Amino acid sequence: MKRIMLSIATMATAAMASDTVQVEPSKENPTKQESKSGILERIHAKGDLRLRYESIERDDKDNTYRNRYRLRLGLNVDVTDNLTLESGMRSGFANPTSGNQTFEDEPLSDYFWQSLRFNILGLKHESGNATYKIGRQPYMMYRPIKSQLVWDNDVSMNGVNYQYQDETRLITVGINQPTLEEASVAEDDVNLFIAQYVHKTKVDAGKLNLGSGIYYYDGFKGNTTLFGKSKGNSLDANDLYENDYHIAEGFAELQIKDVFGKPLKLAAGVAYNFGADEDNFGYDVAAQLGKAKNVGEWQLKYSYTDTQEDAVLGAYSDSDNFGGGTAAKGHAVRAKYKAGKNLFLAGNFFFNELYESKSKTDVEADYERVQLDMIYKF
C-alpha cells in the first residue's frame, strides 16, 4: 500500500507541475501556430503515469503476479516556428519496448528516478506536408489499429527519418541504428533501413487505408542478441542470430464512421522475412469498436496474431502478447474507458499458445496474461 500511495503522490505532483508549463493552442486560429516570442510559449511539457496489476499464468514455468508502474515525461522546445527540440524520459531502465517497472521490496525512492532513461532526444523540422526527424525519436511508421505485429508501441528510432503526408498518401523513409539504444548489448553494429507507403481512400462508409513497407536490417546474421534475449528468434549453436531480417509488410485497414453509434475499424496485416528460409511468416487480424476520446466513452479491440519464429525481429515486436516477441499465436482483447478528463481505465487480456521453440519445456504451452491499468495523463 505504501508503494501505491507513493506512486499516486508522484502522479499528483507531476499533474500540478504540468499546469504551470502547458501552453494552450491559439484560439483565434487553431490550424496555424502563431509565431512565439516568449520563452515560456516555446516550452511544452506533458506526461503520464500508469499503475498496473498484472498476472501471467503459463504451463511451462512458474506463474507471475506483480504490481507495476510506468512514468513518461516529455519536454519539447520550439527553437523556431518549424524546428523543435524533442526530449522524453520513461521508467523501465532503458527497456527498448517497455517503460514498465515492477514495484520492489526496497523503498520506492531507491530506484524510482534511477529507472528513468531518455527514449526521445532529437530534432524535428516541419515544412509543409513534410516532417524530418534526427536523433532518437518515436517510430514514424503507420500501424493499422496500432498493430504490434512488427513494431511495439514503445519502439524508438535512432537515426534520420522523413515523412510526407497529405489527404491521399503517407510516405515514410529512414536510416537508423538499433545498436545505439542504451540497452543494446549486440557485439556488432546493426543498421535499419525503413520505407513505407500508405494509400488513403475515402469510401462511402468512411476511409480505406492500404499500405506496404520494407524494413531491412543489416548486421544480424552471426551477431549476438540485440538486448540479451532472442525473444523467439532462431539462434545457432553459439547463441548467435541464425538469420537476417529483411521484412516485407502489407496491410489493409477499413475505418467505418458509424456502427450502432460507434466508429468501427477492421484491419489485417502480414509480415514476411526474406532473410530467413523457413519459419518466416506472420499475420494478424483485428477489429476495434468505439473510441475512448471523451469522458464516458469506451473502446474495445480484439486481435488474433500468429507469428513464426523469424517472421519479424522479436526484440522490436509486441512486448506483451506471448510474453514478447515471436514463436506463438493467440487472442488478445484490449478495453479502454475514459473515466475523467485525464483519467483512463484499461484492461488487456491475452490467451496464447507458445510454440515448442519458445516453451521452457520444449512442448507447446498455454500462456495467459491479464493487465489491469489506471492511467493519468498530464
Instruction: Provide Rg for the chain, Cα atoms.
Output: 21
The CA distance from 251 to 212, in Å, is 6
Picking from 19-23, 94-98, 201-205, 211-215, which range would have the lowest pLDDT averaged per residue? 19-23
Is residue 245 predicted with pLDDT exceeding 70? yes
pLDDT 10s digits, 297-314: 999 999 999 999 999 999
Picking from 54-63, 105-114, 120-129, 352-361, which range would have the lowest pLDDT averaged per residue? 105-114
When pLDDT is cut at 50, 70 and 90, the band that residue 24 belongs to is: very low
- The pLDDT assigned to 36 comes to 56
- Do residues 332 and 305 touch, judged by C-beta distance below 8 A? yes
- The pLDDT assigned to 247 comes to 98
Q: What is the torsional sign of CA 142, 148, 149, 155? A: positive
Phi then psi for 106, rounded to 5 degrees?
A: -75, 165
Q: What is the torsional sign of CA 278, 227, 51, 75? A: negative
% residues pLDDT > 70 (the chain) = 90
pLDDT 10s digits, 39-54: 889 999 999 999 999 9
pLDDT 10s digits, 162-197: 999 999 999 999 999 999 999 999 999 999 999 999
Phi-psi domain of 205 (left: phi exceeds 0; alpha: psi -120 through 50; beta: other): alpha
Q: What is the torsional sign of CA 112, 113, 116, 117? A: negative
Of residues 333 and 21, the one with the higher pLDDT is 333
Other C-beta atoms lying within 10 Å of the C-beta of residue 3: 17
- What mean pLDDT, rounded, does the chain reach? 91
Phi then psi for 251, rounded to 5 degrees?
A: -155, 160
* Burial class of 136 by CB neighbour count within 10 A (0 to 12, 13 to 18, 19+): buried
Question: Which residue from 46, 3, 57 is spatially nearest to 21, judged by alpha carbons?
Answer: 46
- The pLDDT assigned to 37 comes to 59
Is residue 14 predicted with pLDDT exceeding 80? no
Is residue 22 predicted with pLDDT exceeding 50? no
The CA distance from 15 to 74, in Å, is 13
- Do residues 164 and 129 touch, judged by C-beta distance below 8 A? yes
pLDDT 10s digits, 79-90: 999 999 999 999
The CA distance from 143 to 192, in Å, is 18
C-alpha cell at 169: 498518401
pLDDT 10s digits, 190-244: 999 999 999 999 999 999 999 999 999 999 999 999 999 999 999 999 999 999 9
The CA distance from 149 to 133, in Å, is 24
Q: What is the torsional sign of CA 128, 134, 138, 143? A: positive
- Do residues 56 and 368 touch, judged by C-beta distance below 8 A? yes
The CA distance from 113 to 107, in Å, is 12
Query: Which residues does residue 254 pair with via DSSP β-bridges, in sequence order?
Result: 208, 266
What average pLDDT does this structure show over 264-274?
98
- The pLDDT assigned to 38 comes to 77
- The pLDDT assigned to 19 comes to 37
Beta-carbon contacts of 378 under 8 Å, excluding residues fewer than 6 positions away, are 11, 14, 15, 18, 46, 47, 48, 49, 342
